[in-house]
Amino acid sequence: MSISATDPGCSARVGLLTLTHGTVNTPAFMPVGTQGTIKGLLSDQVRATGAEMMLANTYHLALRPGDETVAKLGGLHSFMSWDRPILTDSGGFQVFSLADRCKMSEKGVVFSSHIDGRRFDLTPETAMSIQQNLGADVAMCLDHCPKLPADKKTIAEAVERTIRWARRCRDAHQRPDQALFAITQGASHKDLREQCAEELVAMDFPGYAVGGVSVGEDREHVHEALKVSTPKLPLNKPRYLMGVGRPEDLLIAIEHGIDMFDCVWPTRNGRNASCMTFEGTVRLRNAAHKLDPRPLEEGCPCIACRQYSRAFLRHMFMSGEMTGPILATIHNLTFLQRLMEQVRSAIMEGRYLAFSRELLAKWAP
């Protein structure tokens, strides 16, 4: 990763991440295509939002249609008709989100499939095999993401397991055209965060993620984790904050030196008629929009804003038409790419703190 600019007032930075399927301008937001697609959108529509990289889900794709099936069909890029970079998660988040359907041991995790109940074994080695079959540009190490709140002993055990599993992932990973990122854990404990980061950095991975910060803790704990974790991560390698996508949180994380983000926030909110603009949130089901001829946001280049009114979009949602969620999703993804573009400009011009503080004040409840 090459760094082209840093802000003099904080740790925010602009860079270029070069991967097998292209380059990504950072800070960057990755839309989440869990099943190999953004819900309701075609790949061309996702490209039109400005997205340069997408995330896909290892656990879900391994169950259906199967990573070997994807490999036989030319890999994930060909399968989902996306010619830009892809990152695949490790399946570690499903250990947290599907805790009632899995059992963990030092070897790995045994799931009872949420689809049909069949057994699915996920170990550091199988996580690497699956992601190598999928062929993403970036693969993630399998980690242990404990559910919070948890006592320090539980968090410490998760940190130690995460470190051991990262070593096993590194040893099992064999694709030279695929970057392998490690994931730091430690919740809000400074000593555990530092220990995890230091031991993973010593293994010399191509990139590092800050994990365990979108699993039930409050925002202050998220910020504290970033203050501790990012200074321990190499300056010349990408830093990825997993599962965070609220615009307010992105701005704070970028201030701490984070380069990459992913989250279902823009797509899930779009499907529920909630759209973000630089002036704040627009809730399209509100009666105030019934006769509103304005676009969602003046100056936004997305098709929802160029061709349709708030009144029409509200009508789509109130009528239960698919067009409403599709257009709102396109807008939210476009908004976040526009936000990242403005963030990069502000950093390069040395005015990031003023830029972010202005938006944070505008978006405050």
Q: So which residues are the catalytic ones? A: 89, 262
| Phi, psi torsion values for 25, nearest 5 degrees | -75, 130
The CA distance from 172 to 106, in Å, is 16
* Helical ranges in 5-151 per DSSP H: 43-48, 58-63, 67-72, 76-80, 92-97, 124-134
Q: What's the CA gap between 124 and 172, in Å, rounded?
A: 8
Farthest-apart Cα atoms in the chain, separation: 61
The span from the CA of 360 to the CA of 31, in Å, is 22
Q: Residue 190 and residue 228: Cα distance in Å, rounded?
A: 6
Nearest to 58 by CA among 18, 95, 99, 112: 95
Cα separation of 95 and 191, whole Å? 24
